[in-house]
Chains A and B, each alone.
Chain A
Amino acid sequence: MTRHAAAPTVAELSDLIAPHLHLEGPLLPILHALQDAFGHVPEAAMPLITEALNITRAELHGVMSFYHDFRDVPAGRHVVKICRAEACQAVGGTELAEATLARLGVAWHGTTANGAVTIEPVYCLGLCACGPAAMVDDKVIGRLDSVRMDALLAEAGA
């Protein structure tokens, strides 16, 4: 995940949008490209996307808000997604999640004050056999307990 300190320019944004315009459903690839580049979909990109695809901001908002992974503000440096689906709940997932939130002093979707970690809920990571499970950035982790979670969070700098 690369990161730009300054606000992205129109040219930067347009360069990320243009390569996808020939596709038959170009909106999701464009949103992915922007999020990959900036960690979120910058507000400045919205009018450029609606203009390029000739759609309204309502339609764009509908798609953006449907997919929880698209962000309109940057996340922390690391994103920890804790599974809240039934299998993980059955083996202590709820307690693990609540303890984690309490330890960091944030609510769901919240980011720690130092900007290191954002905690998000996720509904099943496909690791039902080895719950409680979580995903730190792009890496899935099973058989979590509070000790392992603490280690992960420490590694992430929270």
Chain B
Amino acid sequence: MKDFILPSDDRDMGTPAQTGAPVTLTIDGFDVTVPEGTSVMRAAAEAGIQVPKLCATDSLDAFGSCRLCVVEIEGRRGTPASCTTPVAEGMVVRTQSGKVQKIRKGVMELYISDHPLDCLTCAANGDCELQDMAGAVGLRDVRYTAPEGAGLSNHFEARNTSGEANPNWTAKDESNPYFTYDPAKCIVCSRCVRACEEVQGTFALTIEGRGFDSRVKAGGPADSFLTSDCVSCGACVAACPTATLQENSVIEIGTPERSVITTCAYCGVGCSFKAELNGDQLVRMVPYKNGKANRGHSCVKGRFAYGYAAHQDRILKPMIREAITDPWQEVSWDEALGFAADRMRALQQKHGRRSIGVITSSRCTNEETFLVQKLARGVFMNNNTDTCARVCHSPTGYGLGQTFGTSAGTQNFDSVEQTDVVIVIGANPTDGHPVFASRLKKRLRQGAKLIVIDPRRIDLVKSAHIEASHHLALRPGTNVSVVTALAHVIVTEGLMDEAYIRERCDWDAFQDYAEFVRDPRHSPEATEILTGVPAAELRAAARLFATGGNGAIYYGLGVTEHSQGSTTVIGIANLAMLTGNVGREGVGVNPLRGQNNVQGSCDMGSFPHELPGYRHVKNADVRGIFEQAWGVQIDPEPGLRIPNMLDAAVEGTFKGLYCQGEDILQSDPDTKHVAAGLAAMECVIVHDLFLNETANYAHVFLPGSTFLEKDGTFTNAERRINRVRKVMAPRNGYADWEVTQLLAQAMGADWAYTHPSQIMDEIAATTPSFAGVTYDLLEEKGSVQWPCNEDHPDGTPLMHVDGFVRGKGRFIRTEYVATEEKTGPRFPLLLTTGRILSQYNVGAQTRRTENVVWHEADVLEIHPHDAEVRGITEGSWVKLASRSGETALRVELTDRVSPGVVYTTFHHPDTQANVITTDYSDWATNCPEYKVTAVQVSLSNGPTDWQEDYAAQAAQARRILPAAE
């Protein structure tokens, strides 16, 4: 297998890159020109000269502790450390001289005097900077000898030769499931501690003690890595130059021999990783330094939680069954595809062309999604295609499309480095988008201000070294009121950027909007009673955002998953235009997309009313492009959305569904209704890695492939198209795009793609914003942000730079229409839902990894006051009931939530939080209202009848007959 190593440089340059005026100096006789502020070490590296080093690495600021990188500089006394010495014009540096060589050898000798010489059996053998440096400085001997009658004092021998315990020795810490801390190997370079602080921003590590007693320590005196604040992002492990912090997989398997650059398949940040392998065995995932979304950082999911790909639950053979009450039967691919194709065709003949449909996956590649919607439009001959974006960010598409003219975020993630005031609304980045959160926290530590608008006190409100200036803890469901009140303050106090509005926005629309928001009923004082946000606090927040410099808004599902989701998105866009905060670095409106390719699945025409590139199916010109490319007639009528499909199924008019990489039974609201809809269908084809919850109602199961097993592209939240590269052959036999193609062929289509690049070529040929995208371009540039076409051949990092895509930015009134879902005597509390760091979405992947040590079950967060009046104590089982249904789970008492609000996650199917959620949805896009449900909480003995029935049905539905061979 060929390795795809991008041409970009992966060397460690020692210290971070700088920007500044050029400075020219001479290093070992070579002239080098680097930006002002660059270290001598980095300048040398730029010239191709590696100065020996241990405590320096280019992801961290220089520290100057190891004294190995000393150099001589003409005209300066002594031997300065090259990592902490900035370059100066005309400087003459010598990195190799008798003097510095001798110093380095002496320093190295001291290091090695307290380091075990077990290199051959060490997990870092061949991947150890200490080993490399010992070689580089020519260390041949360690002359330190033990005093008579005693051993040489050290940290690495558990016992001395007489068998006495060594008080300096500490046992390994193996509490983290993914990596091991072995203090015996530690050289106390502090790279791990600095990585935890500077890169991750968690400050979980420290150096304990001083002098010879110094050692790395996680948390306080009694902590282990697992009990400390550590979030297992792996930054310390990546930074460690020795085997002190080492991935367990490397300890078990050995050092990898090849690597492939690919893109993480978890959240919408879209981190680039190096998949490091031995043959086709994945050894570890290491964040890729040149990845433009993550800049070398990672979180516990992408870095470590890939074990699901080889989990025993994974289904590798196709299966069919006559009825969902039958056990599954393993069959050949041909038989399964023939069975599926025959059933689907028969349903169409009996119930009409529009009786079947597809659901595309936001976890699959752009190419795969494109094929699935093509299957609906070109083979099923209808527009019954929808995707999980329906249930997450469809209001983003609508709201930003209406106001700005594009259905996507305006910035790249680098932009956060330039921002001065950040609003985070309805998002919990430290759990949902951890790598972005680390970049945001770094900026906050540099002095940027933060405003959090969230019913729950998320970690960003206050955690080590960061604190929000304002936390507007609104009542769930009142986003629109709060956003409009912010605009009211800005308009009535004259804080808007009038010049910007006059130049860039529709002035009439602005005047109309201004008149609307000026109305005293939108004032913070008037809305306080509704939103629960103190007026003075809201006014201060509005003033800060309007006057604090570059203002950026980041938002998540807490904005979109409401009855008024689209209105809030429009309100956010209004706020950004009002303050002149769109169209340059450090500002913008940034939806934090949930799944790895939810942006891409929307771009690829997954919606029933839109062809790829967000163009309406009613538009005959656009249909013409695809009709010509595909040689079919495209239905001009928009198809069914997911909720409509389920409604139609219950009514008996929708009979067949091909659902790829999506678990609608667990992820979609009102589980009982989803189950009823699925049960009413006559052919449900589930294409997934596991027998997910939806598969309990399926007739055909087509095994899926993981992101490690296929080529393609994912598009992240910043519109960045990143390559996904095949690192191993699909264990199920076919990549997902091949499976869809086989199904299409079984239904009579003449598709003949042999590589996803051909599908991308078809996308580029039919979709203007992707016109310039090719796999060759992605190989060359690493990644590219759409639009990428003739006008923007290198892609578009920032949108709306010279004006809005739609022409003039459009202000739209944001009238608040409260949800029908209201609290009352029977259901007095409001439930809102969210995510946790270690788990991802429905948990199908992360529940099948060691990540469960951090979160093994969903729990209900409740304020101590609400718990007390119900007689509920910490950890007790409670029944959570709404108008839709009830479930039982354990509680955690916390003041993170306000009185009257409860909170949970939906990562575990045995809790099924979506049994509780209602079928209320966004007025414009049908995005379900997950974030507001009126509930009651009461003590309970354990799982509800519904949960037990569900578990029994699931067990029954998952039976597999042995293969008949």
The residues of A with any CB-CB pair to B shorter than 8 Å are: 46, 54-62, 65-66, 68, 72
Contacts and interface: CB of A to CB of B under 8 A. Distances in A.
Interface residues of B, number: 23
A153 B207 CA distance: 36
B220 A61 contact: yes
14 contacts: A55-B203, A55-B464, A56-B202, A57-B223, A58-B223, A59-B203, A61-B217, A61-B220, A62-B207, A62-B208, A65-B208, A65-B209, A66-B207, A66-B209
A72 B221 contact: yes
B204 interface: yes
A58 B465 contact: no
A59 B223 CA distance: 13
A61 to B, nearest CB: 5
Interface string B193-209: 00000000011111111
A46 to B, nearest CB: 7
B462 interface: yes
Interface string B795-813: 0000000000000000000
A58 B216 CA distance: 10
Nearest to A64: B221
A59 B206 contact: yes
A45 to B, nearest CB: 12
A58 B205 contact: yes
A66 B466 CA distance: 24
B228 A58 contact: yes
A59 B217 CA distance: 10
A68 B217 CA distance: 17
B467 interface: yes
Nearest to B221: A61
Interface string B464-491: 1111000000000000000000000000
B86 to A, nearest CB: 26
Nearest to A61: B220
A61 B219 contact: yes
B204 A56 contact: yes
B210 A60 contact: no
A5 B218 CA distance: 32
B229 interface: yes
Which 3 A-B pairs give the minimum distances between C-beta atoms? A62-B206, A57-B220, A58-B206
Contacts of A57: 219-220, 223, 228-229
Given A58-B219, A65-B217, 16 more contacts: A54-B463, A56-B203, A56-B219, A56-B229, A57-B223, A58-B206, A59-B206, A61-B206, A61-B208, A61-B217, A62-B206, A62-B207, A62-B217, A65-B208, A66-B209, A68-B210
Contacts of A65: 208-210, 217, 221
B386 to A, nearest CB: 45
Nearest to A67: B210
A72 B221 CA distance: 10
A65 B214 CA distance: 9
B467 A54 contact: yes
Which interface residue of B210, B217, B220, B464 has the most chain A CB atoms within 10 A? Answer: B220
B204 A58 contact: yes
Nearest to A50: B464
Nearest to A66: B210
A58 B196 CA distance: 11
A154 to B, nearest CB: 31
A54 B445 CA distance: 12
A60 B217 CA distance: 12
Contacts of A62: 206-208, 217
Given A46-B220, A72-B221, A58 B229 contact: yes
A57 B218 CA distance: 9
Contacts of A58: 203-206, 217-220, 223, 228-229
Nearest to A72: B221
A97 B229 CA distance: 41
A90 to B, nearest CB: 17
Which interface residue of A60, A62, A66 has the most chain B CB atoms within 10 A? Answer: A62
Given A65-B208, A65-B209, A60 B220 contact: yes
Contacts of B209: 65-66
Given A61-B217, A62-B207, A54 B223 contact: no
Contacts of A61: 206, 208, 217, 219-221
B190 to A, nearest CB: 11
Instruction: Give the dominant DSSP class at A's interface.
Output: helix
Which interface residue of A46, A57, A66 has the most chain B CB atoms within 10 A? Answer: A57
A66 B215 CA distance: 11
Which interface residue of A54, A55, A58 has the most chain B CB atoms within 10 A? Answer: A58
A61 B228 CA distance: 12
A59 B464 contact: yes
Nearest to A57: B220
A53 B287 CA distance: 32
A54 B208 CA distance: 19
Contacts of B208: 61-62, 65
A68 B203 CA distance: 22
A36 to B, nearest CB: 22
A55 B219 CA distance: 11
Nearest to B205: A58
Contacts of B217: 58, 61-62, 65
Nearest to A47: B220
Contacts of A66: 207, 209-210
A62 B217 CA distance: 8
Nearest to B214: A66
A56 to B, nearest CB: 4
Nearest to B230: A58
Contacts of A72: 221
B457 to A, nearest CB: 14
A66 B213 CA distance: 9
A56 B463 CA distance: 8
Contacts of B219: 56-58, 61
Interface string B17-45: 00000000000000000000000000000
Contacts of B218: 58
A41 to B, nearest CB: 12
A50 to B, nearest CB: 8
Which interface residue of B203, B204, B219, B228 has the most chain A CB atoms within 10 A? Answer: B203
A61 B467 CA distance: 22
B222 to A, nearest CB: 10
Contacts of B207: 62, 66
B162 to A, nearest CB: 19
A62 B218 CA distance: 10
A53 B67 CA distance: 33
A60 B219 CA distance: 9
Contacts of A56: 202-204, 219, 229, 464
A59 B205 CA distance: 7
Which interface residue of B218, B221, B228, B462 has the most chain A CB atoms within 10 A? Answer: B221
Interface in B216-241: 217-221, 223, 228-229
B462 to A, nearest CB: 7
Nearest to B202: A56
B633 to A, nearest CB: 63
A65 B208 CA distance: 6
A46 B219 CA distance: 12
A60 B210 CA distance: 14
A57 B229 CA distance: 9
B372 to A, nearest CB: 46
A128 B299 CA distance: 54
B406 to A, nearest CB: 39
Contacts of B210: 65-66, 68
B446 to A, nearest CB: 16
B962 to A, nearest CB: 53
A56 B203 CA distance: 6
Contacts of A46: 220
A114 B464 CA distance: 42
Given A62-B208, A66-B210, A54 B462 contact: yes
Nearest to A63: B206
A54 B464 contact: yes
Contacts of B220: 46, 57-58, 60-61
B469 to A, nearest CB: 13
